[in-house]
Structure formats: C-alpha cells, structure tokens
Amino acid sequence: MTKATKPQKQYFGTDGIRGRVGEYPITPDFMLKLGWAAGKVFAKTERGRSKILIGKDTRISGYMFEAALEAGLTSAGVDINLLGPMPTPAVAYLTRTFRAQAGIVISASHNPYHDNGIKFFSGDGTKLPDEVEFAIEEYLDRPITTVDSQFIGKALRINDAGGRYVEYCKSTIPSDIKLSGLKIVVDCAHGSTYNIASNVFMELGADVRTIGASPDGLNINDHCGSTSPQRLVEEVLATKADLGVAFDGDGDRLIMVDHLGNIVDGDEILYLIARDRRRRKVDFGGVIGTVMSNLGLQLGLEALDIPFERVSVGDRYVMAGLQQKGWLLGGESSGHVICLDVASTGDGIVSSLQALYAIVSGETTLHELRSKMSKFPQTMINVRVSGKQNLLDNAAVSNAVKAVEARLGKKGRVLLRPSGTEPVVRVMVEGEDGVLVVQLAQELADIVAAQVSA
C-alpha cells in the first residue's frame, strides 16, 4: 500500500501569501477573490453576522489591496473593521478583543516596498489552522456570488485602535515597572510601528529618540529597522543612549543594540528573557528555538537547567513546538520572539518590553545581560542548485559533513538546509574557533557546489 500524499496548498505558504506587487497572485483581482473566499468561509462557520478586522503596514500598495479585500469580504456578507496602519501583532490582539471571526494583515513583513502579502489570524489571535486555509483555497476555485443586497457587509473604521494596542503593550509588564532614566533609540523601519512604539516607551517614562518613523509608502525597511540595524547603532553611539530597539516593517521582529553599539539578536533576546523568568521563578516550561538558533543559546540555557528544543525555521513551527510541549517561550535568531504568557503571537514591542523588564528589575544593563550568553561564531554560505537536486542524500556531501562535524567536536554544529524561498542550499557551520568555522564552511560549500556541477 502506498502512503497517502499530503495535500499541498496552492497559495498559502508558511506565513500567508506573499510576492511582488502586480505579479499573480499579488494583484487586485486576486485580493478581491481572496476577500470573498475568506468571507464565505467565516460567514459559513459563524452564527449571525461575521466580522473581520483588516490592518496593514505602510507600503503604498496597501491602499489598493485594502480596498480589494473590503469589496470581496462585504460581497460575501461580512462586516469589516478597518484598523489602518497597524503592527501585525496588534491585529492579532485586536481580533481577540473585538471578538472578530478573523483578522487580516496586508504586509510583506521585512521585505521591500515592491512586495506585499496577506496574513490571517483566527479569532483567538493565532495563525489559521491548515483546514481553514484549505477551505479558503477551495472557494478561490469558485465564481464570486454576491449575497442579496440587504445582507451585504458594512465597513467601519476603528479610530482608537492604536491607543488600545499601546495600553495592551504596557499591560504586559507590571504596573510598578517604570523606564524612567532610560534613554532609548527606537527604529520603526518606516513601518507599522511608526506611530505606536515610541508612545509605549514614553508613556512608561523613557527618554525616547525615534528614527525610521516617516513612512512615505516606498521607504519601508529601506536601510533601516531590524534587518538593517547599522543606523540604529550609529544613533545609539551618537546620542549616548542606554540601548536601541529596531522593529521590522510589520512590527513582529525585534533586534536590540546595547550602549556600546553591539547588535543583540533574537537568540540573545530570547536568552535574557528566559534567564530573567528563571531568576523570578516564573514557570515557562522551556524554550523552542530553530535549527538556525546559535549553539550558544542552547548551551547557555542548558547551564541554567532550562529545556531547549529545535524546530524548522519559521515562526509557525516555533508556535507549533510551543503548543506541542506546553511551553511559553520561543523564537528565532532573526528577532521573532514569542512570549505566550503575554501574547498570542510574536510581537516586537511586547518582546522589547520583556527585555526591558529584565534590565530594570535586575538593575543591570543590556550589555551585561547579553554577556551572560556566549555566542558561537557562525558562517553560512548559499550554494545555488537546480530545483530538483537533493544534495542532502548525496554520499560525498554526507561524508564531508561527518568529517567537518568530527573536527568541530561537541562544541560545533553543521547544518545543510534547502531554502524555502530560493534555489539554494544553505551551508552553515558553527563552532568556538571563528577562523576554523569560516574555513570549514567554505570547504563544505565547495564540495556541495562540486556535486551540483557533477
């Protein structure tokens, strides 16, 4: 008997639907159909009138896709609450508080302005389960039918959404914790946190200097934010700030900078939050990382007797791992940090507050806390392959990997991972000796490349 093949989604990836604006399916006609399909699914599964929230980041195409989704949803008989520019995690939170059936975010996250995409949240503020995404895709194959005019949905703009989210963010740390005396530089990536993040920190008492908060529709993530933190480093040093925080375009990623200009990535942020939880005797189970998480995170957590497990790259897999284990903390090196005891999804502002809570309550500095974890040098080289090549089962590659692992010993790792977004194999080597790591990564990449050409 042959094993049943798992059905594949046609449009939904690991994080919604994403691509270049104007190239199918990131087109107005598809978004109209997607809105209608989603409306049919949620109208069908809920009693009475269904309601869906729509938020977006600051890229110029968001206006176009918001209008298309609105038309599709209302034609299916669904009411809409329009939130305007709003961080992705804010839409997740507001979907719960407004008791909506779903939330939609129009965003391509950390991508440049010419890309866009759609993310969905369930009524619980979590990513949609597979069966709902499959149901939406099924409706995408059907012709649009509009409900009778008396049942067409209505659209209402929520003017106080930003203020509601600011108050929620502040509520995730104790009311007696104040940021008075802290000088913070905040980089909003010209994205959806531009009119929210600084207010959170200022209302908690911090002295805030804001950069990357002048969106024009085209400059989102443009040499700024969590994917390009160099300007934040420069501002922290120039203003002699205590630290800096940088978000990506839709506000679900966080990178920090200490007062000496050192970049503090997602692994280090996750470590210092976990360490603080352990110091305060808060039960969070353990920590979920990914196959790309630095070995220093794993060893640092083990030294604190904190369980740690790895999953595939992607916040969807981190969340699945947390739910499976019943743990509360997880994240990725890129800055996706999930604190399920205070949020239902990865949230850059909330995660930054958890780190600031650790700093203030421990009467220490970001530099001191990051120094508690020793990051291992890590080198990654991309080797281009053809779409059908499977080098992971190649004997020569497998033998080369074993040889590199033997040279690294217990204080090193090797990872070969096919990219999910481009035709490359990512060759990653990690170990204590940075020079050796670079050498071994190049040697292994050369062997992989040779097998590609063979």
Distance between CA atoms of residues 272 and 266, nearest Å:
10
Q: Is the dihedral of CA 381, 387, 392, 396 positive or negative?
A: negative
From the list 232, 178, 176, the residue with the least C-alpha distance to 200 is 178
Beta-bridged to residue 330, according to DSSP, are 288, 338
Neighbours of 216 (CB within 10 A): 11
Backbone angles phi, psi at 102, to 5 degrees: -165, 165
Question: CA–CA distance from 189 to each of 1, 103, 193, 209, 213 (Å)?
Answer: 53, 23, 8, 14, 7
Active site residues: 109
Residues 6+ apart with CB under 8 A from 246: 186, 187, 189, 212, 224, 225, 226, 229, 232, 254, 255, 256, 257
Pairing mode, strands 115-122 and 17-20 = antiparallel
Q: Quick one: 355 exposed, middle or buried, by C-beta within 10 A (0-12, 13-18, 19+)?
A: buried
Question: CA–CA distance from 86 to each of 271, 338, 382 (Å)?
Answer: 28, 19, 34
Buried b (16+ CB within 10 A) or exposed e, 427-443: bbbbbeeeebbbebbeb
